[in-house]
């Protein structure tokens, strides 16, 4: 897993090359967009929706279920994201999108989804297979962006931001790993409490998933200002087993930043400590990729400290095997 994380910028460069060669139709204008997928394939939809929130002219919904929303019709763009191409929930959603005559585009490495896309002459982008899906967010995320750019729902300038992000991550590689290693020591054998200050909740969800899968630990996340209206009241008793970490960007709203500053002393007094990770870069994409990368490294270093294999997911494999009997 460490090798895969180390090669993140290489993956982004390869993904950019794939995007440049991909042939996607412009299609006809739509009223809404649904990006459907699960786990490492699904989180890209959340991140992309935040990335283009201020520029996309139609709403984008990230869907993580067997079913698609009732509003989906021929005026909906449904983007199918499944690394394996055989995710049963995503296949179910795709079949419903086909029945509803939605405009469909797929991002996958193969499987039944690729077969359906080819048979139905749908837009698709094929990405390299054979890796743990959670390690391939660079492949899937960039192709989601490609589809939105071609269809007119994201600015083409975002690819310039990607090129800058690759340079930034390569330059900061040693510093990112050093910071991640120190943070891992604070989180190991604790229950991480992860917070976003509003602009980048998708990267925090991604980090939670990586702690779950790579570090084999439970944790939770929440987002400001929403947590100020519910979870904040739960902070009443000191618990040394809790370790708070925030992801922050320069795009966080000023009053949300002030809210966090006011809450931070409370978190510090009732937990084992608070760590703030501040993204580097100028654009949203640069900062999001920076946070994804440092989060991935933290999860790997926690696995090292716990003496476990970050790659294996036996419990998920067992669940899939058991489901195949039904």
Look up residue 151 and give its two tokens. Answer: 């269809």
Q: How many C-beta neighbours within 10 Å does residue 268 have?
A: 12
74 Cβ contact list (under 8 Å, min separation 6): 100, 101, 102, 103
213 is catalytic: yes
229 is catalytic: yes
CA 63 from centre of chain: 13
Specify the DSSP element, H or E, that contains 88: helix 88-99
Q: How far apart are CA 72 and CA 77, in angstroms?
A: 8
Phi, psi of 35 (to 5 degrees): -110, 115
Please pick, among 21, 26, 229, 314, the residue that the annotation labels catalytic.
229
**How big is the chain by its Cα radius of gyration, in Å?**
20
147 Cβ contact list (under 8 Å, min separation 6): 24, 79, 105, 107, 123, 125
Q: How far apart are CA 214 and CA 272, in angstroms?
A: 22
For 109-123, give the DSSP string: SSHHHHHHHHHTT-E
320 is catalytic: yes
Please pick, among 213, 221, 280, 286, the residue that the annotation labels catalytic.
213
**DSSP state for residue 193 in the 8-state scheme:** E
Provide the annotated active-site residues.
213, 229, 320
């Amino acid at each position: 897993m460490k090798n895969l994380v180390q090669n993140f910028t290489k993956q982004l460069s390869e993904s950019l090359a794939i995007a440049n060669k991909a042939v996607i139709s412009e299609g006809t204008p739509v009223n809404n967009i649904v990006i459907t997928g699960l786990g490492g394939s699904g989180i890209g939809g959340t991140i992309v929706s935040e990335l283009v929130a201020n520029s996309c002219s139609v709403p984008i919904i990230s869907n993580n279920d067997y079913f698609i929303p009732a509003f989906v019709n021929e005026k909906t763009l449904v983007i199918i994201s499944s690394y394996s191409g055989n995710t049963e929930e995503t296949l179910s959603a795709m079949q419903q999108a086909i029945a509803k005559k939605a405009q469909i585009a797929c991002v996958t490495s193969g499987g039944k989804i690729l077969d359906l896309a080819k048979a139905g002459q749908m837009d698709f982008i094929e990405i390299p297979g054979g890796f743990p899906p959670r390690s391939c967010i660079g492949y899937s995320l960039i192709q989601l962006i490609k589809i939105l750019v071609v269809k007119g729902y994201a600015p083409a300038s975002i690819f310039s931001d990607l090129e800058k992000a690759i340079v930034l991550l390569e330059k900061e590689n040693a510093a990112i790993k050093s910071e991640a290693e120190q943070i891992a020591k604070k989180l190991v054998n604790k229950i991480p409490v992860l917070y976003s200050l509003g602009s980048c909740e998708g990267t925090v969800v991604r980090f939670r998933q990586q702690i779950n899968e790579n570090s084999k630990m439970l944790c939770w996340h929440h987002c400001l200002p929403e947590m100020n209206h519910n979870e904040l009241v739960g902070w009443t008793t000191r618990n040394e087993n809790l370790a708070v970490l925030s992801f922050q960007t320069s795009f966080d709203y000023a009053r949300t930043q002030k809210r966090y500053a006011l809450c931070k002393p409370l978190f510090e007094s009732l937990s084992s400590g608070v760590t703030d990770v501040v993204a580097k870069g100028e654009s949203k994409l640069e900062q999001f990729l920076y946070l994804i990368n440092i989060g991935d490294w933290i999860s790997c270093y926690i696995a090292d400290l716990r003496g476990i294999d970050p790659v294996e997911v036996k419990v998920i494999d067992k669940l899939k095997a058991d489901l195949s009997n039904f």
